[in-house]
Structure 1
Amino acid sequence: MARPKVSKEEKRSVIFTIRLTLEEQRKLNELGAMFGISPRLLAREKIFRGSYPKQKMPRIDVDVYTELKKIGININQLARHVNSGKVPYGLRKVLLELSEQQQLIIKLLLD
Protein backbone atom coordinates (compact mmCIF):
# COMPACT_ATOMS: atom_id res chain seq x y z
CA MET A 1 0.00 0.00 0.00
CA ALA A 2 1.40 3.40 -0.97
CA ARG A 3 2.04 6.22 1.46
CA PRO A 4 -0.75 8.85 1.42
CA LYS A 5 0.04 12.13 -0.35
CA VAL A 6 0.75 15.15 1.83
CA SER A 7 -0.51 18.58 0.82
CA LYS A 8 2.03 21.32 0.04
CA GLU A 9 1.07 23.17 3.24
CA GLU A 10 1.75 20.11 5.41
CA LYS A 11 4.88 18.93 3.62
CA ARG A 12 8.11 19.64 5.46
CA SER A 13 10.37 20.86 2.69
CA VAL A 14 12.31 23.67 4.41
CA ILE A 15 15.68 22.81 5.94
CA PHE A 16 16.81 24.82 8.95
CA THR A 17 20.37 24.33 10.20
CA ILE A 18 21.93 25.40 13.49
CA ARG A 19 25.43 25.06 14.83
CA LEU A 20 26.01 23.48 18.21
CA THR A 21 29.02 22.89 20.38
CA LEU A 22 29.92 19.29 21.11
CA GLU A 23 28.54 19.73 24.64
CA GLU A 24 25.24 21.15 23.33
CA GLN A 25 24.94 18.27 20.88
CA ARG A 26 25.62 15.76 23.66
CA LYS A 27 22.93 17.34 25.86
CA LEU A 28 20.42 17.38 22.98
CA ASN A 29 21.13 13.72 22.23
CA GLU A 30 20.73 12.83 25.93
CA LEU A 31 17.41 14.67 26.10
CA GLY A 32 16.23 12.90 22.96
CA ALA A 33 17.15 9.54 24.44
CA MET A 34 15.41 10.42 27.72
CA PHE A 35 12.18 11.26 25.88
CA GLY A 36 12.57 8.38 23.42
CA ILE A 37 12.58 10.54 20.28
CA SER A 38 15.17 11.97 17.90
CA PRO A 39 16.80 15.30 18.80
CA ARG A 40 15.16 16.90 15.73
CA LEU A 41 11.67 15.93 16.89
CA LEU A 42 12.49 17.04 20.42
CA ALA A 43 13.51 20.51 19.19
CA ARG A 44 10.40 20.77 17.01
CA GLU A 45 8.12 19.84 19.94
CA LYS A 46 9.79 22.35 22.27
CA ILE A 47 9.72 25.19 19.72
CA PHE A 48 6.19 24.79 18.36
CA ARG A 49 4.32 23.36 21.34
CA GLY A 50 6.21 25.22 24.04
CA SER A 51 6.93 22.13 26.12
CA TYR A 52 8.82 18.90 26.02
CA PRO A 53 6.93 15.75 25.06
CA LYS A 54 5.88 13.31 27.75
CA GLN A 55 8.90 11.53 29.17
CA LYS A 56 9.45 7.90 28.30
CA MET A 57 9.29 5.54 31.27
CA PRO A 58 12.76 4.49 32.34
CA ARG A 59 13.60 0.83 32.16
CA ILE A 60 13.98 -0.64 35.63
CA ASP A 61 16.61 -3.28 36.15
CA VAL A 62 14.89 -6.67 36.45
CA ASP A 63 16.75 -7.46 39.67
CA VAL A 64 15.63 -4.19 41.28
CA TYR A 65 12.03 -4.79 40.20
CA THR A 66 12.11 -8.36 41.54
CA GLU A 67 13.54 -7.23 44.88
CA LEU A 68 10.93 -4.47 45.24
CA LYS A 69 8.20 -6.97 44.45
CA LYS A 70 9.50 -9.34 47.14
CA ILE A 71 9.59 -6.48 49.67
CA GLY A 72 6.03 -5.52 48.78
CA ILE A 73 4.81 -9.09 49.19
CA ASN A 74 6.50 -9.39 52.60
CA ILE A 75 5.03 -6.07 53.76
CA ASN A 76 1.55 -7.14 52.67
CA GLN A 77 1.86 -10.49 54.46
CA LEU A 78 3.08 -8.84 57.67
CA ALA A 79 0.36 -6.18 57.46
CA ARG A 80 -2.27 -8.90 57.12
CA HIS A 81 -0.95 -10.59 60.28
CA VAL A 82 -0.89 -7.28 62.18
CA ASN A 83 -4.46 -6.50 61.19
CA SER A 84 -5.62 -9.95 62.28
CA GLY A 85 -3.98 -9.45 65.69
CA LYS A 86 -1.33 -12.17 65.31
CA VAL A 87 1.65 -9.80 65.54
CA PRO A 88 2.50 -7.31 68.32
CA TYR A 89 0.97 -3.89 67.76
CA GLY A 90 4.34 -2.05 67.81
CA LEU A 91 5.22 -3.70 64.52
CA ARG A 92 2.41 -1.84 62.76
CA LYS A 93 4.35 1.45 62.86
CA VAL A 94 7.47 -0.20 61.42
CA LEU A 95 5.43 -1.76 58.62
CA LEU A 96 3.89 1.59 57.72
CA GLU A 97 7.34 3.19 57.58
CA LEU A 98 8.63 0.38 55.37
CA SER A 99 5.64 0.74 53.09
CA GLU A 100 6.25 4.49 52.77
CA GLN A 101 9.92 3.86 51.95
CA GLN A 102 8.93 1.33 49.31
CA GLN A 103 6.55 3.81 47.69
CA LEU A 104 9.28 6.48 47.71
CA ILE A 105 11.77 4.12 46.06
CA ILE A 106 9.26 3.17 43.36
CA LYS A 107 8.43 6.83 42.73
CA LEU A 108 12.13 7.74 42.43
CA LEU A 109 12.75 4.88 40.02
CA LEU A 110 9.81 5.81 37.80
CA ASP A 111 10.28 9.60 37.79
Structure 2
Amino acid sequence: MGRPSISDTDRKSAFIRVRITLRQREALLALAKRYGCKPGDIIRKKIFAGHFPSPKMERVDLETYMELKKIGVNINQLAWHANSGKFPFGIGEQLTELKKQETLLLNLLQGNDWRF
Protein backbone atom coordinates (compact mmCIF):
# COMPACT_ATOMS: atom_id res chain seq x y z
CA MET A 1 0.00 0.00 0.00
CA GLY A 2 1.52 3.31 -1.09
CA ARG A 3 1.28 6.76 0.34
CA PRO A 4 -2.11 8.41 0.09
CA SER A 5 -2.24 11.09 -2.57
CA ILE A 6 -2.41 14.73 -1.54
CA SER A 7 -4.72 17.16 -3.26
CA ASP A 8 -3.21 20.08 -5.17
CA THR A 9 -4.54 22.56 -2.60
CA ASP A 10 -2.89 20.69 0.30
CA ARG A 11 0.42 19.96 -1.44
CA LYS A 12 3.30 22.17 -0.31
CA SER A 13 4.63 23.15 -3.71
CA ALA A 14 5.23 26.92 -3.43
CA PHE A 15 8.60 28.24 -2.26
CA ILE A 16 9.50 31.49 -0.53
CA ARG A 17 13.12 32.43 0.07
CA VAL A 18 13.92 34.53 3.11
CA ARG A 19 17.29 35.88 4.15
CA ILE A 20 18.12 35.69 7.83
CA THR A 21 21.26 36.28 9.86
CA LEU A 22 23.47 33.45 11.04
CA ARG A 23 22.31 34.10 14.60
CA GLN A 24 18.67 33.86 13.53
CA ARG A 25 19.42 30.64 11.65
CA GLU A 26 21.05 29.11 14.73
CA ALA A 27 18.09 30.17 16.88
CA LEU A 28 15.66 28.64 14.38
CA LEU A 29 17.62 25.39 14.25
CA ALA A 30 17.73 25.28 18.06
CA LEU A 31 13.95 25.75 18.18
CA ALA A 32 13.49 23.01 15.62
CA LYS A 33 15.60 20.64 17.69
CA ARG A 34 13.71 21.56 20.88
CA TYR A 35 10.31 21.02 19.28
CA GLY A 36 11.40 17.93 17.36
CA CYS A 37 10.36 19.18 13.93
CA LYS A 38 11.76 20.92 10.85
CA PRO A 39 12.47 24.68 10.77
CA GLY A 40 9.82 25.18 8.09
CA ASP A 41 7.21 23.52 10.31
CA ILE A 42 7.97 25.98 13.10
CA ILE A 43 7.63 28.96 10.78
CA ARG A 44 4.35 27.69 9.28
CA LYS A 45 2.87 26.90 12.71
CA LYS A 46 3.81 30.32 14.13
CA ILE A 47 2.58 32.28 11.12
CA PHE A 48 -0.63 30.42 10.34
CA ALA A 49 -1.69 29.07 13.75
CA GLY A 50 -0.33 31.94 15.83
CA HIS A 51 1.76 29.81 18.19
CA PHE A 52 4.77 27.54 18.32
CA PRO A 53 4.30 23.77 18.20
CA SER A 54 4.21 21.89 21.50
CA PRO A 55 7.71 21.05 22.72
CA LYS A 56 8.77 17.45 22.46
CA MET A 57 9.07 15.90 25.93
CA GLU A 58 11.50 13.12 26.55
CA ARG A 59 10.19 9.94 28.09
CA VAL A 60 10.66 9.73 31.84
CA ASP A 61 12.68 6.74 32.97
CA LEU A 62 11.28 4.37 35.60
CA GLU A 63 13.61 5.58 38.36
CA THR A 64 12.54 9.22 37.88
CA TYR A 65 8.88 8.20 37.73
CA MET A 66 9.14 6.26 41.00
CA GLU A 67 10.88 9.18 42.71
CA LEU A 68 8.14 11.58 41.54
CA LYS A 69 5.51 9.12 42.78
CA LYS A 70 7.15 8.97 46.24
CA ILE A 71 7.25 12.76 46.44
CA GLY A 72 3.57 12.92 45.43
CA VAL A 73 2.61 10.40 48.11
CA ASN A 74 4.53 12.39 50.74
CA ILE A 75 2.86 15.64 49.69
CA ASN A 76 -0.59 14.02 49.79
CA GLN A 77 0.06 12.68 53.31
CA LEU A 78 1.25 16.07 54.52
CA ALA A 79 -1.75 17.80 52.91
CA TRP A 80 -4.13 15.31 54.56
CA HIS A 81 -2.60 16.00 57.98
CA ALA A 82 -2.69 19.76 57.42
CA ASN A 83 -6.34 19.69 56.30
CA SER A 84 -7.35 17.54 59.28
CA GLY A 85 -5.86 20.07 61.69
CA LYS A 86 -2.92 17.87 62.67
CA PHE A 87 0.39 19.61 62.19
CA PRO A 88 3.22 17.19 62.92
CA PHE A 89 6.46 18.51 64.33
CA GLY A 90 8.88 19.54 61.56
CA ILE A 91 6.32 19.73 58.76
CA GLY A 92 7.74 23.03 57.51
CA GLU A 93 11.19 21.56 56.98
CA GLN A 94 9.72 18.51 55.22
CA LEU A 95 7.66 20.67 52.87
CA THR A 96 10.69 22.82 52.06
CA GLU A 97 12.82 19.75 51.29
CA LEU A 98 10.06 18.23 49.12
CA LYS A 99 9.69 21.48 47.20
CA LYS A 100 13.45 21.52 46.52
CA GLN A 101 13.35 17.92 45.28
CA GLU A 102 10.35 18.66 43.07
CA THR A 103 12.05 21.71 41.54
CA LEU A 104 15.26 19.75 40.94
CA LEU A 105 13.42 16.90 39.22
CA LEU A 106 11.37 19.25 37.06
CA ASN A 107 14.53 21.07 35.96
CA LEU A 108 16.22 17.79 35.13
CA LEU A 109 13.18 16.64 33.14
CA GLN A 110 13.10 19.92 31.21
CA GLY A 111 16.79 19.62 30.38
CA ASN A 112 18.07 22.34 32.68
CA ASP A 113 21.41 21.37 34.16
CA TRP A 114 21.55 23.60 37.22
CA ARG A 115 21.15 22.45 40.78
CA PHE A 116 20.69 24.08 44.18
**What's the TM-score once normalised by structure 1's chain length?**
0.68
Q: What do residues 19-72 of structure 1 show as CA deviations (whole Å, max 9, x unaligned)?
A: 111111000000111111111111111111010011112578x7xx49x939x5
Distance of 1:109 and 1:58 partners within structure 2: 11
Percent identity over paired residues:
28
Greater CA radius of gyration, 1 or 2? 1
Distance of 1:56 and 1:7 partners within structure 2: 29
User: What runs of 5+ residues in structure 2 fail to find an aligned partner?
Assistant: 82-87, 111-116
> Helix, strand or coil for the counterpart of 1:104?
helix
Number of aligned residue pairs: give it: 97
Q: CA deviation at 1:99?
A: 0.8
In the alignment, what sits opposite 1:102? 101
- Greater RCO structure (CA 8 Å; 6+ sep): 1
In the alignment, what sits opposite 2:67? 69
Aligned CA-pair RMSD: 3.0
Q: Structure 1 residues 59 and 31, CA, compared in 2 at 3 Å: closer, same or farther?
A: farther
Matches within 5 A, 1:44-59: 44-57=44-57
Q: CA deviation at 1:100?
A: 1.4
Distance of 1:4 and 1:17 partners within structure 2: 28
In the alignment, what sits opposite 1:30? 30
User: What runs of 5+ residues in structure 1 fail to find an aligned partner?
Assistant: 84-88
* Between 101-110 and 27-36, the greater mean CA deviation after superposition: 101-110
Distance of 1:42 and 1:21 partners within structure 2: 17
